[in-house]
Amino acid sequence: FSQSLLHTIFPPELRFASLKLLHRLLTYFSSYCYYDITETDGVNTNELYNAVQLYLSSSASVSASRLTLTRSPNSSSTTYNLSTNDRLLDSFHGATVEWEHVVTQRHSPNFSWRPLPEEKRAFTLRLRKNNKHLVLNSYLDFITDRAADLRRRNQDRLLYTNSRGGSLDSRGHPWESVPFKHPSTFHTLAMDPVKKSEIMADLLDFANGEAFYQKTGRAWKRGYLLYGPPGTGKSSMIAAMANFLSYDIYDLELTEVNTNSELRKLLMKTSSKSIIVIEDIDCSINLTNRNKKFGGSKNNYDAGGGDDGANTITLSGLLNFTDGLWSCCGSERIFVFTTNHIGKLDPALLRSGRMDMHIHMSYCTFPALRILMKNYLDLEEGDLEGEGFEAVIDEAEMTPADISEVLIRNRRNKSRAVVELMEALKIRAEKSGLKKLRIGNVEDEEQEKRALESPQQLQQNCVDDDKMHRT
């Protein structure tokens, strides 16, 4: 009505100015004030938007009349969202507020640095002016806490990966995510119980240690290095950690990252309460020389700090990622590196304070075997006594993965499982005993042999040796 009135009264050049004035007047006399919480601030995603969305989805499921329901692929939880431009009333400490979900089409600019989403989304919060102090202080904090709580309790945790190789999705995220549903827990993890409870206590200490980290001036993060042969449960351990603390996992594929600055950007886009994982760190990139640029020319040396202009990723870039100023954007982060060969790693990665805990995932030990037997076959401690497992298990050097293979195969017949496992262990123990014996003897006998044997015989021995090693 006012608009058409304006059109008739004012000449075109004054219309815009008078419209603005009218709007101001209306705002001035209105008893409400409005807060827009947009999905992005132009560059970064707005955490508050996500928090409001989650918070409203919990109360929306009961009180709103029209909702948008979504379920992402593989997820087991439904998300309720306010439909486009729909409203919802909420009350906080006796004050009533109104939320509206505003979605508008974006007029795409002719030129943009990166793809922008087609729609602009925002929540608008309307409340009475005299309740303003409530919102600015406690209501928004309340929503953020509540959302974090909800996320942890009923939403699937997420497994993120940077497999897209540096390109961003339509919302500007470098990470892709799927719901994380790995069933591994500390209960199912077969390892020395004492070491296991040490790790669990360490994790709990970390998660509850905000005040401690604050007091000591340390960034609230922790690093674990898991090392050991393949199939000893390094990946299972990471899943167990995530399930234990209810953290999200960021699985960082280093080979997909081209520059140090890309690495930094990836880090900036991780959320708190998360585990950042780099698997097989010795294989991802050649991390032997701290100063050398990988893939770049050999004469090219990095000054030591993270070099932005470089087209390659360096060890110092990686160290800055875990350790430098950037590592504490956000908080409550756990870094986990895994490797099969700890000897191949640069000492810079191993020095104290960098990776707080080095965890050796060893071949299956007797206490670990007991856990596997209990989980796979429901055999109690007493059932294993007198079977003689203790005598061979350490010698056999079988991984928990190998052992669980045997147990799965025979899970319907417990006694056969025990017998078959015993056989397998004995064979392996014999072999590894033989191997050790040979290695021990090789040095003493080598010269003697050389003197006695013909060149052909010597060659044959080498082939046999090689086969033995491979088996």
Ligand X SMILES: Nc1ncnc2c1ncn2[C@@H]1O[C@H](COP(=O)(O)OP(=O)(O)OP(=O)(O)O)[C@@H](O)[C@H]1O
**Residues at the interface with ligand X (CB under 6 A):** 188-191, 230-236, 340, 361, 400-401, 404
Q: Which residues contact 225 (CB under 8 A, 6 or more apart)?
A: 336, 337, 338, 339, 342, 349, 350, 355, 357, 358, 359
Residue 247 CB, shortest distance to Mg ion, in Å, is: 18
Residue 245 CB, shortest distance to ligand X, in Å, is: 18
Residue 74 CB, shortest distance to ligand X, in Å, is: 19
- β-pair type (248-251, 158-161): parallel
Residue 83 CB, shortest distance to Mg ion, in Å, is: 43
**Calpha distance 53→364 (Å, rounded):** 46
Residue 184 near Mg ion by CB under 5 A: no
Residue 175 CB, shortest distance to ligand X, in Å, is: 21
Task: Give the residue closest to ligand X by C-beta.
Answer: 233
* Residues of this chain, 232-271, that bind Mg ion according to CB under 5 A: 234-235
Count Cβ atoms below 10 Å from residue 260 Cβ, excluding itself.
25
Q: Using the 8-state DSSP alphabet, how is residue 85 labeled?
A: T
For residue 400, the partner it binds in ligand X, Mg ion, none, with Cβ less than 5 to 8 A by kind, is ligand X
Cβ atoms of 405 and 370 closer than 8 Å: no
Nearer to ligand X, 98 or 420 (CB): 420
Q: Coil, strand, or helix at residue 389? A: helix
Question: Token digits for 352?
Answer: 């104290």
Residue 230 CB, shortest distance to Mg ion, in Å, is: 7
For residue 359, the partner it binds in ligand X, Mg ion, none, with Cβ less than 5 to 8 A by kind, is none
Number of residues that bind Mg ion (CB under 5 A): 2
Looking from the CA of 379 toward its CB, the CA atoms found within 13 Å total: 22
Nearer to ligand X, 322 or 404 (CB): 404
Nearer to ligand X, 191 or 267 (CB): 191
Nearer to Mg ion, 102 or 283 (CB): 283
Q: Which amino acid is at 292?
A: K
Give the closest residue to 196 by CA, choosing from 152, 244, 247: 244
Crossing angle of helices 400-409 and 414-452, rounded to 10°: 130
Nearer to Mg ion, 127 or 238 (CB): 238
Residue 399 near Mg ion by CB under 5 A: no
**Calpha distance 445→57 (Å, rounded):** 75
Nearer to ligand X, 143 or 190 (CB): 190
Task: Point out which residues bind Mg ion (CB under 5 A).
Answer: 234-235
